[in-house]
A and B are shown apart, each in its own frame.
Chain A
Amino acid sequence: MKLRRTRLYVPGNNPHLVENVGIYGADCLILDLEDSVPLPQKFDARILVKYSLQNVDFGRSEKWVRINSLDTPFWEKDLREVLPYADVINLPKVESYEDLERVSGVMEEIEKENGIDERKIVPIIETLRGLVNARKIAEHPRVLGMAWGGEDLTAELGIPKKKALILEHVRAEIVIAAKAAGKMAFDTVYGAIHDLEGLYKYAQHARYMGFDGVGVLHPNQVEVVHRAFMPEEKEIEDARKIVEAAEQAMREGKGVITVNGRMVDKPVVERAKKILAFAEVE
């Protein structure tokens, strides 16, 4: 199972930050062409990201690019420049299944032209309309997982983001939409970059909400989030027993898996496998 506990954002217009970003061990890197790049630098950033993807050593991190949203004139050019070299496209402000169809069509063309495999999309749900359509969006075959952002959504409601109780519901809805479609769920970033204790609690909360990872804005946050996603000793021990029992049942051709005399269902085995993956146990 591919872990995506951390997605480290790096502004696509800053070569100094881009060159070192692979050394921090983040599961995914998001080279950003959207919010962290000011309007006059959109073109420069696109070219820098294109060449960085080809030449910089990003270590073991998966290479994502956040392109500009569909309501801008940039998204298609972004795709044409970076898609052949990126692993995943992070698409902001997705509101409908049709949005994905539109992007997917262009992606298909580029993939054919370049003779490359199908690339996945992680849509970011940032509006009430997007939230309403989230379950349908998650079902799109290109979707790898669902992410969300609270800024626009709380602005729509006219409430301060820091006090917005509704965000807890939004989180739950994103997880439900993603998981029901068999996709991953990604929680948003924790903005207070120097508050590592707060980040640890935030990431643990995300884990127990059912998210697979959170966004990070600073390299120092990576290790903290990985630690927060590390299952407890007891969880690992139990998971190991369940997986071993399942493997044994498979070898012996038994349909029923038992651990300590109790029957174990398939979803429990799947959960155990996921726990071991998070514990990075081979």
Chain B
Amino acid sequence: MVKNAVGREVPSEINGQRFKPFAGVGKTLPEGRRAGSLVRMAPRGRSKVLNSLEEAIRKVGLEDGMTVSFHHHLRNGDYVVNMVMETIRKMGIKNIRVFPTALFPVHKPLVPMLTDGTIRRIEGSMNGPLGEATSYGAMRETAVLRSHSGRVRAVETGEVKIDVAFIAAPTADPYGNLNGVDGPSACGPLAYGMVDAYHADHTVAITDHLVSYPAHPISIYQHMIDYVVPVEKIGDPAGIMSGTLRITTSPSRLKIARYALEIIDRVALRDGFSFQAGAGGISLAVTKFLGDLMKKRGIKASFINGGVTKYVVDMLHEGLVDVVFDGQAFDLDAVRSLKEDMNHIETPLAMYGNPHSSGGIVNMLDVGVLGATEVDVDFNVNVNTHSDGLLLHGIGGHQEVAAGSALTIVTVPLYRYRVPVIRESVTTVTTPGEVIDVVVTERGIAINPKRDDILEAMRGSKVPIYDIQDLQKKAERICGKPQEPDVEDEIIAAIMWRDGTVIDVVRKVKKH
């Protein structure tokens, strides 16, 4: 174990693989060359369409110990992960490394596969039951969590070798051209699946909407897809799309959004500025209020990077922004806009924010508004674990946006259910304080002392400004001092910084 740059003890070897400790943002430089995938061929006349998943798994030669990958565009409506893993289990293939972009509560059927020998470990975000089961020690090996683009980096550098990528495709043609904007399970972009399609040794598209050749538009191209498996349904639209997301009605959350808006207004709002949008309640409110303010001031943004929702689409169509970059769509308005509007652009995750590339979209961001489960007095942010130590969320794009944006704002309530959110030390460090500029709560804000310029810009504002220690004390005055989570020494998951270094670990939670 070694101490890293945020003072956490981390291992230098995880699952037999060597990793460096987190050394600070931008301190670990890339090495070597990009990794390649197996060179294959598809002679004229050979059909790619197969009758079943089992046939596909046989054809690609999936064996014990291999790595399979999935994207999470179908979110909590996804049927594909369960379908594929159940087929693998039935075929008696063991010790699989599952490498999803993210898993959701709908993937609970994988929990018994952690103990029956089918899955040896999961490397990816686990939202809900799989994270909880892992926290209590159900997984044989150590889980590894990476950010959206940290995962891309891991694939591109060969840190993770994907044997078979199973790609859920809302629309596919028989020769493997795929998109996400049509079909009964439409999800918008297929951005998360692109890197897997490029770098996996074998690729299988799974679709419930097989159209005649050529499918168009094309998000993932035919030359990267080996097989196409039509199935009855790849997902439940109710879980894929969120319906029209509603802005929070909680007055205290709206207060947080208004404070964030004033910071953006004073620090970054000008013609041609750019910002990151999301789908959380506060984030939606900030987007909506920002749109209203831009309209009032006659300001136009150059681009919004999303997390695309109706609110972002409305801004595009009202002429408040030139371009929307779309890595993930949350509602049908976003899907429709992606299909119809040339200025609504699908962006591969490699372009989103891979730190070891020639530059991601996040490097061009002026403003990012992010959430957290905890923030500490060093501005370190936790988005992975709750204060009881349970691993319940993925990293998402948190690290990318925080590291990339010129102004990174974290919006959190001071406390949740009588547990302080602002604390002495976060349970898990997901994103280091050096890239967090302002923490906004309903009772006031704290500005990172490194950012004199923001402090100066906020002079004369009515937003209450405190030292972060004062916010911590306010939280503790109301809730008392939070208890430390009751954990054992055993490490159940590693949290990676986007450059491939280890920023923290998650330990096994004691069961009572």
Contact = CB atoms under 8 A, between A and B. Distances in A.
Interface of A: 19-20, 23-24, 57, 218-220, 223
A266 to B, nearest CB: 33
15 contacts: A19-B478, A20-B252, A20-B442, A23-B252, A23-B255, A23-B442, A23-B443, A24-B251, A24-B255, A57-B474, A218-B251, A219-B252, A219-B254, A220-B251, A220-B254
A57 B475 CA distance: 12
A29 B443 CA distance: 17
A219 B442 CA distance: 12
A255 to B, nearest CB: 38
A17 to B, nearest CB: 10
A57 B255 CA distance: 17
Given A20-B442, A23-B443, A219 B251 contact: yes
Interface residues of B, number: 9
A19 B414 CA distance: 12
Contacts of B258: 223
A19 B415 CA distance: 12
Going nearest first, the 4 A-B pairs with the smallest beta carbon separation are A219-B251, A20-B252, A23-B442, A23-B443
Nearest to B254: A220
A24 B464 CA distance: 12
Nearest to B442: A23
Interface in B211-263: 251-252, 254-255, 258
DSSP majority for the A interface? helix
Nearest to A220: B251
Contacts of A218: 251
Nearest to B441: A23
Nearest to B462: A25
A257 B231 CA distance: 88
Contacts of A23: 252, 255, 442-443
A220 B251 CA distance: 6
A220 B289 CA distance: 14
Contacts of B442: 20, 23
Nearest to A20: B252
A223 B255 CA distance: 10
Nearest to A222: B251
Interface string B253-296: 01100100000000000000000000000000000000000000
Most buried by A among B251, B258, B443, B474: B251
Contacts of A20: 251-252, 442
Contacts of B255: 23-24, 219
Nearest to B415: A19
Interface in B78-112: none
A245 to B, nearest CB: 27
B30 to A, nearest CB: 46
A23 B251 CA distance: 10
A26 to B, nearest CB: 11
Contacts of B252: 20, 23, 219
A130 B149 CA distance: 70
B248 to A, nearest CB: 11
Interface centre among A19, A23, A57, A219 (most CB of B within 10 A): A23
* Residue of B255, B442, B478 with most partner-chain A CB within 10 A: B255
Nearest to A19: B478
Nearest to B418: A19
A219 B258 CA distance: 13
A124 B255 CA distance: 31
A32 B221 CA distance: 65
Nearest to B478: A19
A223 B258 CA distance: 11
Nearest to B444: A23
Contacts of B254: 219-220
Nearest to B255: A23
A278 B251 CA distance: 24
Nearest to B258: A223
Given A20-B252, A219-B252, A219-B255, 11 more contacts: A19-B478, A20-B251, A23-B252, A23-B442, A23-B443, A24-B251, A24-B255, A57-B474, A218-B251, A219-B251, A220-B251
B293 to A, nearest CB: 14
A23 B254 CA distance: 11
Nearest to A219: B251
B20 to A, nearest CB: 44
Nearest to B251: A219
A176 B302 CA distance: 56
A34 B252 CA distance: 25
A151 B255 CA distance: 32
Interface in B365-398: none
A50 B443 CA distance: 23
A20 B443 CA distance: 9
A142 B254 CA distance: 38
A23 B474 CA distance: 13
A160 B343 CA distance: 54
A57 B471 CA distance: 13
Interface string B448-464: 00000000000000000
- Point out which of A20, A219, A223 has the most chain B C-beta atoms below 10 A from its C-beta: A20
Nearest to A22: B443
Contacts of A219: 251-252, 254-255
A265 B255 CA distance: 43
A160 B252 CA distance: 35
Contacts of B474: 57
A20 B474 CA distance: 12
B325 to A, nearest CB: 32
B209 to A, nearest CB: 40
B246 to A, nearest CB: 13
A218 B249 CA distance: 11
A139 to B, nearest CB: 37
A228 B228 CA distance: 62
Interface string B474-502: 10001000000000000000000000000
B417 to A, nearest CB: 10
A37 to B, nearest CB: 21
A3 to B, nearest CB: 14
A23 B252 CA distance: 8
A205 to B, nearest CB: 24
A19 B442 CA distance: 12
A219 B255 CA distance: 9
